[in-house]
Chains A and B, each alone.
Chain A
């Protein structure tokens, strides 16, 4: 029971990560694959942020009345990671649009069919 209480955040992370992973490998639609990648990404964010939390800690903005702060380092890393994440997502979506133009579909199986038939 104590193990359950003290590690639940990691389990949530693992579960989310696996859902994202499942979408990426099992779904044929390219847009949905990108959504899956996003979920995977968010699970990593949550892992970092929850590692930075300290019980009884407060947000890392200095204030005289507060003594315990949560760890600011993961916050910095994740903050930049999110913005880079949106940039890569945009790039992926742009690729999807180009693929749609070239093949007329965004289903993986159909794209492969066309590649083989050529």
Chain B
């Protein structure tokens, strides 16, 4: 039973790391801001969930588990929100540029 949990958490951690890495690669390599944001925003929530789930399996039933759940909830709330705000700002900025030709 313990082995199974260890194996599962290891797998989750590995998968999460891989996703984070692809996300960062996207952020580094994609050509423009919006696609970079896509790479970061999409991978972020899933990868974070996976990683924290892996840690939760390691933690077992304790206060630590509760704190991990709180962190997870918090990130699930804030991360899409800040992505949304960022995307909105970029969108507006680009609209301004195409309309008025005003640069920064």
A/B: CB atoms within 8 Å of each other = no
Which of A's residues lie within 8 Å of B, judged by CB?
none
